[in-house]
Structure 1
């Protein structure tokens, strides 16, 4: 969503709205696959009137439709304790999503262990010093139980190993009885990379990180140039 369908003002433009609805009217299922928690995308789902499946928190949650959970993948309390220990020993800021809450460096909870209905879903680290990120990423990946991506060049996003937007889309494909080859996906950051590689048509935004552009089948306009609308026009042949 951020850097893709949302412009710099965090809005869905009139042009993007129009072409999203044209795609829906043509019989295409249009859905969000986002790193955000589901609560923060509700206004956009309502704006577009979507009743389609959702992939949220980088694939940690997959929804058959808004409000109807299909599957959830969690970070264990022990893993989050490890991540918190690593993050607080750097000069970086950190945050984490549970099912119902967002915790940050400033309001980190006294207890890591979560109630059964509110487990951890994703951990994030933001560093202004870009030189720290490669070392941190390598350390986290070496642990063997984390999927490490980003939503900007200045952060790392950590989900359970094997859980990403592509794994979420595969769940949706099974639900809809279609193949990944029939999916078109747009994105701009490394948390979109596996999705763009796995989709039948992977489209990088004009503002995408270079690795995403290199992996994509096509590059559209930026998020401030209605790049999603441009991509839909291409797909519809209009």
Structure 2
């Protein structure tokens, strides 16, 4: 029996076209909660940038690709990037190639500068632009994630210089750099361990490359119709796209909720 459901945000809960949660998804989430099934967010976003879920309530949040998890405002797991790796990145940006980068702190986000690529990404995701600080200031303090607007060739060059980090890319515009050993599977594990659930009692929904570890771990995994092929191949079931009531259709098809006319 399913006891918990995990949902990615962008392209899964929220449409890239409307930047809103479809009405069918809202209904599905309410049905899950009415049946006693806990619902959780599983996102690469920082909680300060989760601006597109309306009044929906969730039982917990796995943010920053599993690096920062909390329930009822209580942090149950966090994993930051070692300062040595941050120093190496700053040196690279200063000495070799300066690309836009968002430095994600526990309670704030900063970036070094913006360009056309960052503007395009912010518009696509309806993502609030972080404050701009000089590179050395933006990189001060504990960092939980980096959002690097670098090219694939720059990614191949710089990632070996960050030995305690890994890159997870779900869009051509940027990559999320997270601590080695963190991903959405780890975040899911921390949350279900908190509640005493098994992986077989969990369903997960996603559409991006950063969702694959979570989909491979969950008892039942669902890829959205708008997902890339690699994501679909990692899931147990492929549903319709976010704009075609994919979450509602999957949950009714799998008999987790009952179908009702709109």
TM-score tier after normalising by the smaller chain length: 0.7 to 0.9
The alignment partner of 2:39 has SS state of: coil
The alignment partner of 2:42 has SS state of: coil
Q: Is the 8 A contact 1:61 1:73 kept in 2?
A: yes
**Aligned position for 2:29:** 20
- TM-score normalised by structure 1 residue count: 0.86
Distance 1:120 1:12, change over 3 A: same
Structure having greater relative contact order (Cα 8 Å, sep ≥ 6): 2
Give CA-to-partner distance per residue, 1:58-112, whole Å, 9 cap, x none. Answer: 11111122x2211211113321222334456347432121112212231244333
Match of 1:63 among 70, 74, 87: 70
Q: CA deviation at 1:38?
A: 1.2
Quick one: distance in 2 between partners of 1:195 and 1:220?
A: 17
Distance 1:90 1:120, change over 3 A: same
Quick one: distance in 2 between partners of 1:169 and 1:69?
A: 14
Q: Is the 8 A contact 2:66 2:186 kept in 1?
A: yes
The alignment partner of 2:178 has SS state of: strand
Greater Cα offset, 174-183 or 139-148: 139-148
Note the aligned Cα RMSD (angstroms).
2.2
Q: CA deviation at 1:203?
A: 1.1
Q: Is the 8 A contact 1:137 1:156 kept in 2?
A: no
> 5+ residue gaps in structure 2?
1-8, 114-131
Quick one: distance in 1 between partners of 2:92 and 2:223?
A: 32
Match of 1:2 among 5, 10, 19: 10
**Aligned position for 2:140:** 113
Pair 1:201-2:220 in alignment: yes
> 5+ residue gaps in structure 1?
none
Pair 1:37-2:46 in alignment: yes
Q: Which runs of 4+ in 1 moved over 6 A?
A: none
Q: Is the 8 A contact 2:48 2:108 kept in 1?
A: no
Give CA-to-partner distance per residue, 1:174-197, whole Å, 9 cap, x none. Answer: 111111122111111111110011
